[in-house]
Amino acid sequence: MIQRKQSIWFFLAALITAITFFLPFGINQVSTLGISTITETDLNAKSPILLTILVSATTLFSLVILFLYKNRSLQMKLTWLNIILNLGITAYMYYITTLAGNKLAIGLVQTQLYIGLLLPILSIFFLILAFNGVKSDDNLVKSTDRLR
């Protein structure tokens, strides 16, 4: 049923992942040759196309998993896959900011809040809570089947 507590966790995971599109996770520094000015722009999930695809996929994935409540084993497997995708998003964000020559920013920088890198980690936390809820439901159903 949709009224389970893990449904809330799946929805929150999708919401937090969608917020990644709006909150930046780093600063892109671009300098032109011959001119000593450096232009800084915010990096968010809309910047690189691969990151946009991954974040969109995990957001939709969380919503799809939410409605697979009749098949708990598939729901648990897809939840683990979504956790792995979120870990990949976090690693890719870190790669974009540190190894590609940009600046990693976490917290409040001037007037902008940079917590985009922490959002997939928070989404992983919600997905783990949802997985535990699905697993407890599965164990409850298995225990009632043994009583029959």
Residue 43 backbone phi and psi in degrees, to 5: -100, 125
Residue pLDDT, tens place only, 108-126:
666 666 677 788 899 999 9
Phi then psi dihedrals of residue 34, to 5 deg: 85, -20
What does the pLDDT look like over 27-58, one tens digit per residue? 666 666 656 555 556 677 777 888 889 999 99
pTM: 0.82
User: Whats the size of the chain, residue-wise?
Assistant: 148
Is the CB of residue 42 less than 8 Å from the CB of residue 112?
yes
* Residue range(s) defining the domain that contains residue 109: 5-139
The answer to whether position 123 is within a domain reads yes
Q: How many domains does the chain have?
A: 1
- Asked if residue 146 is part of any domain, the answer here is no
- Tell me, yes or no, whether 18 lies in a domain: yes
pLDDT of residue 107: 66
Instruction: Give the whole-angstrom CA distance, residue 124 versus residue 138.
Output: 21
The answer as to whether 90 is a domain residue is yes
pLDDT at 35: 61
Does 147 fall in a domain? Answer: no
Cα–Cα distance for residue pair 12/32, rounded to 1 Å? 41
- Residue 76 included in any domain: yes
Q: In this structure, is residue 129 part of a structural domain?
A: yes
Has residue 145 been placed in a domain?
no
Q: What is the pLDDT of residue 86?
A: 93
